[in-house]
Structure 1
Amino acid sequence: MARIARLRDDLINKIAAGEVVERPASVVKELVENSLDAGAHTVQVALEGGGLQRIVVSDDGHGMGREDAVLCLERHATSKLRELDDLENLVSKGFRGEALPAIAAVSRFTLHTAEPEAEVGTRVTVEGGAGLHVEEAPPRVGTVMTVEDLFYNTPARLKFMRRGETELKHVEEAVIRIALAHPEVSFLVEHGGLPLFTSPACPEDPTERIAAALGTDVHPHLFSVEERRLGLSITGHIASPEYTLPTARGIYTFVNHRYVRDRGLIGAIQRGYQEYLPSGRQPLVVLFIDVEPHAVDVNVHPQKMEVRFADSRGVYDAVLAAIVRTLRAAPWLGPTPPEGGDPRRQAAHYAQAVERFLTRAQEATWGAPLPLPSAADAPASLSLVPAAPVPMGRAPAFGQALPQLNEAPPPGYFAALRPMGVLGGRFQVCEGPGGTLVVLDPHAALERVRLMDFHRLLEEGKTPPPSLFGTTVELPVPAARALMGGRESLALLGIDVEPFGGTSFALKAVPPGLEGADPRALLEALSHALPPAGTPPDAVGLAEALRVMACHAAQTASDKLTDAQLRALLGELDAADFHPTCRHGTVVVLEMPLLELERRAR
């Protein structure tokens, strides 16, 4: 008796759905890509229940006639391929003809479409991959695809779905990836009737799409990248090293405008940034790699998230060259100013150039940094604080901090400093005990003091009185939604905000020290730092929000300190707690003992 039997078609479709349809985000990705292949200029996505209850994707593409509307729900029926050789010249997003039948097999699926200028449209309904029902429908522009009760007939897979909020984040990320690749298309995503992501078409300025998708605070840090070689074009935008992220989620790479996660591409980008970013930080990059279709295989992953290059080394080298060339030009510092220009930018250019030259020269000549004097060489009256350990064969980086002074400074250390002047329009140069040269970052110092102030207000439960300070702020939709859900936390922080219609908010009161902060930048930054819904709004849950407030409070005053204010700040630093982390924790940028200065002067 035979042991092997062919599976039924309906079971094959449900198994295939496991490769194509992992979660609601997979459904949205496939349906939106179909809309783009249909030439849509506007794509709208409406969700309920995180996408598990209902997904509606509508577009203004060219639509379908009745015959195509029925055929598109048959497995391996597609308009993108005719012969096997066509795989070498693919320009469409989809091509296998599996997505729609796989989605229909695990949901209640409805397709409503019509060809341009048609007098009647078509509606096709499928439930669980069976019972295809076709009927006439009113004509419309483009296509509407509705997916309800996803995985209702596969409970074993449904139980592995996350909470609605988690699934919603995956959906939003899926749309953002597609939207970044197509700034010429308008996108509107809503959940439960509330906007989630909205971005009009902006083909002339793709940075507007990046700002809408990844946050408006990144916009001033974006700079274009371009590298062209035979059969290869690399374009896009990268953020300056001043804007970093804790993970590599901000690296978006597209091959022929298809989002991919390729280890080689990510590695090349990270190597390009390695001289510019501190340990543990990652860049924000939106990069487009365009190659001849026959030079890349897109048919190597079920979700088409990976590709294989015919010349992977050449592609990775070109990406690395594009990143390095842009970073070495330091565009975020602006052009070197002429006589009488901004000395701060000129000083930064000069400091970077000197640092790179000395580091390379020292490594090439000695292979290790010059030795610092030991404690045995110092007079009894001079207390040396050892510098942070430096890896063998590598010179200390510019601005490397002394961890001991930034984690547990000796009692009275800061009050004993004597301010002498300002370096580069930013750093405070001071004389320490025994003639020690000390360089401070006043922004980090103010941030540390303000963080303690805000912690104290939170612990004491004091609410700032209403003030004359007040303004109305228009925010992006995600930020507005986060603030609406976090008003209780904001009140505990001493920030009084009220909805003012749409995505506008009235900011009525802030704690002392934040009166001069940019209200829009402050509220948008706080929207990312507030604890998630359901988290107790205590000092632990509000720690990141307190750090954001301290950073914005420091921005308003660190560049205009008077001598009296600086001396008062130094006194406050001695009383500050250095254990809570700040966004800019490096207060002491440099400390050089007198012996080291004398040795270098010989």
Structure 2
Amino acid sequence: MGQIRILTDELINKIAAGQVVERPASVVKELVENSLDAGATDISVEVEEGGCRLIRVQDNGCGMNGDDALLAFERHATSKVKELCDLDKIATLGFRGEALPSIASVSKVRIVTSDGNPSSGSEILIEGGKIQDVRVAGRGRGTTLEVRGLFYNTAVRRKFLKSRETELSHITGIMTETALAHPGVYFTLKHHDRTLIKSPGVSSILERSVQLLGKDARGNLMELEEGREGLRLFGLISIPGFTKPSGTGLSFFVNRRPVSDRTLRHAVYAAYETLLMKGRHPLVYLFLDVDPALVDVNVHPAKREVRFTDPKRIHDFTRDSVRKTAQGYGRAQEDERPSPWPASERVERVKEAVESYLRTAGEHRFHEERTTGRPAFTGRIQPEPGKPAPAVRALFDKERLVPLGQIADSFIITQDRDGLILIDQHAAHERILYEKFKQVYRLSKIPVQQLLIPVNLELSGKERILLAEHLKTLRRLGIEVEDFGRGTFSVKGVPMWVADMDIQEIVRSLLEEIVALEQGGELDRRMEDIIHVFSCRAAVKANRRLSREEMEALIRDLGETDSPHTCEHGRPTM
């Protein structure tokens, strides 16, 4: 007997399942896309044990009669492609006819479906790809499909599944991006008896984003819509300054199909090139509508990859559209609004701050002369003739900097005997917090301040799942979070230096960084990166007015750091 043989249908289906069904989220994606292709306007997904025990998808789509329901589980059986030319103009999410037989080959499936005809309802039970029972069943128009025991007969695949929380977070991510792409559809996601997503149909992506993304969408995302010669790009992009620690926040859709595409990804980074700090990433949800004949979606069984007939045109259009919107943030229509801080006004604000200080500094001047023996500042801001300006470090060694006021509530004006120095309050506080956190973390002695009023966290479904998984890591950083169950979390204690900061924003940013490092297997080795994020998010922000006491404390603490000249990202503090 020769070495070459034809594989059995059972083995073929399991091999195909390895390409189509990577994890429970893959099953959810395929089944929900089938519901959308069936015209459903109400789709409900229920899962148990992160989808490993049960996945149930119910919809009010067109449904199927008994014969079609049986045929749907045959390999390469589909209603979406009839002729070869149809592959050049695919407008549906599914078309290969592989998903249902692949899923059925590695699980126990039950489907109940009806096309609305009172006598057409049917129920089919399938186990490991083999039909176990077919019977008449009553159901209104639509389909209910249950998948139990995923990979029950493929141990090698099951052992590669992650924790329940991780698998559930992937499912939540799939449901979130699908709901964003189809704002008119009512989506529900439940895990056991907990509702993670409940999003009634709305009229716009912006409205949907508020439902699904919570705080991220409020003031941090802006709408984009551009068109050019048969191309339309629309969606949401982050405002300059609102960034993420990893590139996982880039979501792309081509003709409402979620895709992973290097062309689109590169175009976005090119658009944000001068707007991002090193190591930071934008948050985007971009939808590209293009003639189906100009894009090939038949690249991979998972249908996440596409090929454009003219990738440069797509790249340049995407780059220019994103750049135009991002750079236009905060500008009035047709640039009619003047810059909020013209040069002349900045000069006036410095002058006003200095004069205000001089008018009220009598008591301070007397105190300076009495305690130091040196004449107090008299208003002449210039170095002595022939004497070079002192080095920045020397200011902390030899001179006491005196705060005069603020510019734009972002920069502290300070004065010594030789002139004025502007201190970036955010960069300076960032350096202070970074060195404090780093020192106490190494000693495992982070001082925690209990909050008088606990802070209830407003999180998306995916964030709640991730938070439950990483409570221990947050405690290592001095953040005490209590899980009240049913997706409710409350912060009871934080490091004493950040008690009056935006605690919710700090927790969200830390969570993103922890997840990003965990995916790379580097969480324990790169805890210092998390401390970087903690310091940045906890530091006092620009546009915050400080009292004189706060400015004096910040200057004093900056002088006690090892590297007062820059924040830990290398940005100058003064």
Normalising by the residue count of structure 1, what TM-score does the alignment of the two structures yield?
A: 0.75
Are positions 1:568 and 2:567 aligned together? no
Task: Note the 1:41-440 alignment, pairs <5 A.
Answer: 41-116=41-116, 118=118, 121-195=121-195, 197-214=196-213, 216-331=215-330, 343=340, 381-382=388-389, 412=396, 416-431=400-415, 435=419, 438-440=421-423
Letter of the structure 2 residue corresponding to residue 300 of structure 1: V
Distance change in 2, residues 1:285/1:567 (3 Å)? same
State the secondary structure of the residue aligned to 1:7.
Answer: coil
* 8 Å CA contact retained: 1:449, 1:576: yes
CA distance in 1, matches of 2:200, 2:486: 21
Letter of the structure 1 residue corresponding to residue 313 of structure 2: G
Farther-moved stretch of structure 1 (476-485 vs 320-329):
476-485
Distance change in 2, residues 1:199/1:465 (3 Å)? closer
State the secondary structure of the residue aligned to 2:219.
Answer: helix
State the secondary structure of the residue aligned to 1:160.
Answer: coil
CA-CA distance at 1:45 after TM superposition: 2.2
State the secondary structure of the residue aligned to 1:566.
Answer: helix
State the secondary structure of the residue aligned to 1:331.
Answer: coil
CA-CA distance at 1:319 after TM superposition: 0.9
* 8 Å CA contact retained: 1:450, 1:554: no
* 8 Å CA contact retained: 1:463, 1:494: yes
**Unaligned runs of at least 5 residues, structure 1:** 352-377, 386-408, 591-602
Distance change in 2, residues 1:73/1:506 (3 Å)? closer
Letter of the structure 2 residue corresponding to residue 417 of structure 1: L
Q: Report what 1:400 is aligned to.
A: none
CA-CA distance at 1:56 after TM superposition: 1.8
Distance change in 2, residues 1:132/1:83 (3 Å)? farther
Q: Deviations over 1:359-407 (max 9, x none)?
A: xxxxxxxxxxxxxxxxxxx97854567xxxxxxxxxxxxxxxxxxxxxx
**Unaligned runs of at least 5 residues, structure 2:** 348-384
Q: Report what 2:424 is aligned to.
A: 441
Letter of the structure 2 residue corresponding to residue 275 of structure 1: T
Farther-moved stretch of structure 1 (483-492 vs 244-253):
483-492
Q: Report what 1:368 is aligned to.
A: none
CA distance in 2, matches of 1:215, 1:460: 34
Distance change in 2, residues 1:432/1:76 (3 Å)? farther
CA-CA distance at 1:248 after TM superposition: 2.2
CA-CA distance at 1:101 after TM superposition: 0.7
Q: Deviations over 1:71-99 (max 9, x none)?
A: 10011111101111111222111111111
Q: Deviations over 1:426-473 (max 9, x none)?
A: 2223456754x6432113333444566677888556554663x46666
State the secondary structure of the residue aligned to 2:218.
Answer: helix
CA distance in 2, matches of 1:80, 1:168: 30
Farther-moved stretch of structure 1 (485-494 vs 19-28):
485-494
Q: Report what 1:20 is aligned to.
A: 20
RMSD of aligned alpha carbons: 4.1
CA distance in 2, matches of 1:210, 1:42: 18
CA distance in 2, matches of 1:30, 1:482: 24
Distance change in 2, residues 1:484/1:284 (3 Å)? closer
* 8 Å CA contact retained: 1:382, 1:434: yes
CA-CA distance at 1:231 after TM superposition: 1.7
Aligned residue pairs total: 530
CA-CA distance at 1:64 after TM superposition: 1.3
CA-CA distance at 1:332 after TM superposition: 7.3
CA distance in 2, matches of 1:316, 1:136: 52
Are positions 1:554 and 2:537 aligned together? no
CA-CA distance at 1:490 after TM superposition: 6.6
CA-CA distance at 1:208 after TM superposition: 3.9
Q: Deviations over 1:149-184 (max 9, x none)?
A: 222223333333334343333333333332221122
Letter of the structure 2 residue corresponding to residue 305 of structure 1: R
* 8 Å CA contact retained: 2:448, 2:493: no
State the secondary structure of the residue aligned to 2:30.
Answer: helix
Q: Deviations over 1:39-74 (max 9, x none)?
A: 122222222333233222222222111111101001
CA distance in 2, matches of 1:539, 1:10: 44
Distance change in 2, residues 1:506/1:158 (3 Å)? closer
Farther-moved stretch of structure 1 (269-278 vs 131-140):
131-140
Letter of the structure 2 residue corresponding to residue 110 of structure 1: R
State the secondary structure of the residue aligned to 2:396.
Answer: coil
CA distance in 1, matches of 2:6, 2:548: 85
* 8 Å CA contact retained: 2:251, 2:286: yes
* 8 Å CA contact retained: 1:223, 1:237: yes
Q: Report what 2:363 is aligned to.
A: none
Letter of the structure 2 residue corresponding to residue 177 of structure 1: E
Normalising by the residue count of structure 2, what TM-score does the alignment of the two structures yield?
A: 0.79
Q: Deviations over 1:494-544 (max 9, x none)?
A: 7666567855556666665656545654555565567999x9x99996984
Letter of the structure 2 residue corresponding to residue 563 of structure 1: R
* 8 Å CA contact retained: 2:173, 2:462: no
State the secondary structure of the residue aligned to 1:412.
Answer: helix
CA-CA distance at 1:349 after TM superposition: 13
State the secondary structure of the residue aligned to 2:153.
Answer: coil
Task: Note the 1:475-486 alignment, pairs <5 A.
Answer: 475-481=459-465
Percent identity between the two aligned chains? 37
Letter of the structure 2 residue corresponding to residue 446 of structure 1: H
* 8 Å CA contact retained: 1:514, 1:549: no
State the secondary structure of the residue aligned to 2:110.
Answer: strand
Distance change in 2, residues 1:414/1:503 (3 Å)? farther
Q: Report what 1:36 is aligned to.
A: 36
